[in-house]
Structure 1
């Protein structure tokens, strides 16, 4: 028998409106809001699940 490691990755996503002068500024503002927990992702924001497999015997 071979041993495998399976990585399970769940992706959450939400679209937020940001007012800014440029895309870069909007991205920075969104990141700051996320870090400050002004934007929080919940299980209802589920987008997809991926399974990645790693062969441990290689």
Structure 2
């Protein structure tokens, strides 16, 4: 029998940023992430899951 197993890795990093409100802070962190100013690596690994694909 052949099984398909999905591997799901979670990376997580907390970024502190000064902003007027949550929306501004979130937008700035998203921009930083998209511009690769914030990069998640294997050091940011927090979880691995294995799930059967049906």
Give me the TM-score of the superposition, normalised by structure 2.
0.88
- 1:52 shift after superposition: 1.4
Structure 2 residue 45 is the aligned partner of structure 1 residue 42: no
Question: Distance between the aligned counterparts of 1:47 and 1:25, measured in 2?
Answer: 26
Residue correspondence of structure 1 range 1-58 to structure 2 within 5 A = 1=1, 3-55=2-54
Unpaired stretches in structure 2, ≥5 consecutive residues: none
Instruction: Look up the SS of the partner of 2:39 in the other structure.
Output: coil
Return structure 1 stretches of 4+ with deviation > 6 angstroms: none
Count residues with an aligned counterpart.
54
- 1:28 shift after superposition: 0.6
- 1:8 shift after superposition: 0.2
